[in-house]
Structure 1
Amino acid sequence: MSDWSWDYNPSAEYLTSGLPPGVVAEVERLATELAALGHEATRPRGHEATKVGRPFDREGGLRQFDIMNSRGFISFLPVPRHRCVYVCGITWYG
Structure 2
Amino acid sequence: MNEWTWDYNPSADYLTNGLPPGVIAEVERLATELAALGRDSTKVGRPFDREGGLREFDILNGRGFISFLSVPRHACVYVCNITFYG
Give the whole-Å Cα distance in 2 for the aligned partners of 1:29 and 1:2. 17
| Matched residue type, 1:77 | L
Aligned counterpart, 2:8? 8
Aligned counterpart, 1:17? 17
Q: Structure 1 unaligned runs (5+)?
A: 39-46
Aligned counterpart, 1:88? 80
Aligned counterpart, 1:42? none
Cα deviation, residue 91, structure 1: 0.2
Aligned counterpart, 1:43? none
TM-score of the two chains, using structure 2 as the length reference: 0.98
Equivalent of residue 64 in structure 1, options 28, 53, 56 = 56
CA offsets 1:48-78 (integer angstroms, 9 cap, x no match):
1000000000000000000000000000000
Aligned counterpart, 1:52? 44
Give the whole-Å Cα distance in 2 for the aligned partners of 1:50 and 1:85. 9
The number of residues matched between the two structures is 86
Flag as ranges the 4+ runs of structure 1 deviating above 3 A.
none
Q: Counterpart of 1:30 in 2: which secondary structure? A: helix
Question: Higher Cα Rg: structure 1 or 2?
Answer: 1
RMSD: 0.5
Cα deviation, residue 2, structure 1: 2.7
TM-score of the two chains, using structure 1 as the length reference: 0.90
Within a 5 Å distance, the mapping from 1:32-43 to structure 2 comes to 32-38=32-38
